[in-house]
Amino acid sequence: MAEIGQKEIARLARVSQATVSRVLNNDPQVNEELRQRVLAVVDALGYVPDARAQSLRAQRTRLLGFVVHRAPTALAHDPFFSALIASIIDQAGRQGYHLCVDAARTVKGQRAIYEELLRTRRVDGLILVESETRDERIARLTAQGFPFVLIGRYEPEDAICTVDNDNIGAARMATEYLLRQGRQRIAYIGGPAGLTVTRDRLHGYRAALESHGIAYDPHLVAFGASSEQGGARAMEELLSLSMRPDAVLAFDDVLAIGAMRQAQRHGLRIPDDVAVVGFNDTPLCSFVEPALTSVAIDIPMLARAATQRLIDLIEGRPVEPRRLIVPARLVPRESA
């Protein structure tokens, strides 16, 4: 039943197929009477142009690609992921674009996805997240002039379009918040070492301390895998210091909760003895005892900015500035 095309419409309206196309594309130079006649038929048949044909003809699909450089199953319960996708869909939808989500199942698969989406011209542009610092694909995309935007920091190139959370500023803000509360020995628990995010937040933490005339003490910095155990172990390490910290800034909420629990096991009260601040403001925060103060990343803003930039890029509009930093905000709860 859906095998109706402009040709059929044209036949029924007794005009040429070109006229049908003109009417549908609001070409001003078409007689009003004809326009109505055509629209009547279009309406009656519920005709809608075939996106596949339009894609071929116009050389663009109105499809954005969202690629996660991670196995699909690994992001199953990642709250970041769904929030990001939701906002991208929203923003893209407003401008008539759709979203094609892909993930690399294997390391080899990354290359395949790159080929599949880019070379086949299946999508008009790409939004990449969780890119490695040195990512060969980024170089190739740049070389090919293929539109893409990166969410998260990327250092080597400066000309590429990037949207990132203000990790330095956020960590600094959180640290200063603790300082204002009179905390003296503030510790930092970092996530996976080597990630730019980990380093950035450490920078912010350090900057806040130093601008308040407090010397940076490496003993007060611990690292742990992003899990409750990781947080607990890191906290254990910090508590064994001769002078234990009176506040902890953690790389993410799960680490923070692990740390909090470990402190509680030692009989310490939160926030009285030790204040704890997490990162990401996940739903978990409200459910732990005491509720966790956390830094909220503005994911919708991140997603919207990235999407808008990508569409601008695709449609040839200038994108300025190339790198955008989105501010985060602190969500105060009971733990600090």
Partner DNA sequence: TAGAGGATGGAATTCGTATTCCGAACCCAG
Partner DNA sequence: CTGGGTTCGGAATACGAATTCCATCCTCTA
Q: Both tokens of residue 266? A: 């030692």
Residue from 24, 39, 101, 296 binding a second copy (CB under 8 A)? 101
Residue 205 CA, chain-centre distance (Å), reads 23
Q: Letter for the amino acid at 52?
A: R
Query: Which residues ranging from 29 to 68 are in contact with DNA (CB under 7 A)?
Result: 29-31, 34, 47, 49-50, 52-54, 56-59
**Using CB under 8 A, which of the segments 84-92, 190-198, 269-277, 323-331 binds a second copy?**
84-92
Q: Positive or negative CA dihedral for 49, 50, 54, 60?
A: positive
C-alpha–C-alpha distance, residues 129 and 151, integer Å:
5
Residues 108-147 that bind DNA (CB under 7 A): none
Please name the residues in contact with 292: beta carbons below 8 A apart, sequence gap of 6 or more.
253, 256, 257, 260, 276, 277, 278, 284, 285, 333, 334, 335
Measured CA to CA, the distance from residue 65 to residue 83 in angstroms comes to 16
Owner of token pair 């172990």? 233
- Residue 30: name its binding partner from a second copy, DNA, none (Cβ under 5 to 8 Å by kind): DNA
CB of 157 to DNA, least distance (A): 28
Contacted entry of a second copy, DNA, none for residue 34, CB cut-off 5 to 8 Å set by kind:
DNA
Residues across the chain: 336
Residue 216 contacts residue 206 (beta carbons within 8 Å): yes
Which entry of a second copy, DNA, none binds 107, CB below 5 to 8 A by partner kind?
none
Binding mask 119-138 for a second copy (x = CB under 8 A): xxxx----------------
Smallest distance, Å, CB 9 to DNA?
A: 8
Dist. CA 165–CA 296, nearest whole Å: 10
Q: Using CA atoms, how far apart are residues 292 and 270, in angstroms rounded to an integer?
A: 10
Nearest CB to a second copy, comparing residues 14 and 266: 266
Using CA atoms, how far residue 308 sits from 29, 100, 154, in Å, is: 33, 16, 19
Site for a second copy in 18-77 (CB under 8 A): 46, 48-53, 55-56, 59, 61, 63, 71-77
Residue 130 C-beta: closest distance to a second copy, Å:
14
Residue 122 beta carbon to DNA: minimum distance, rounded to whole angstroms: 12
| Gap between the terminal Cα atoms of the chain | 63
Contact partner at residue 272 from DNA, a second copy, none, CB < 5 to 8 Å by partner kind: none
Residue 73 C-beta: closest distance to a second copy, Å: 6
Strand partners, 145: none
Q: Which is nearer to DNA, 57 or 329 (CB)?
A: 57
Q: How far is CA 250 from CA 115, 146, 196, 267, 303, in A?
A: 38, 37, 15, 20, 24
In the bound complex, what is the minimum distance in angstroms from residue 117's beta carbon to DNA? Answer: 15
- DSSP assignment of 181-227 equals TT--SEEEEE-STT-HHHHHHHHHHHHHHHHTT----GGGEEE--SS
Residue 290 in the binding site for a second copy (CB under 8 A): no
Residue 5 interacting entry, from a second copy, DNA, none, C-beta within 5 to 8 Å by type = DNA
Q: Of 11 and 269, which has the nearer Cβ to DNA?
A: 11
Query: Rule CB under 7 A: which residues touch DNA?
Result: 3, 5-7, 14-19, 21-22, 24-25, 29-31, 34, 47, 49-50, 52-54, 56-59
Residues that bind a second copy (CB under 8 A): 1-2, 46, 48-53, 55-56, 59, 61, 63, 71-79, 81-83, 85-87, 89-90, 93-94, 98-103, 105, 109, 115-117, 119-122, 144, 228, 257, 282-284, 286-289, 299-300
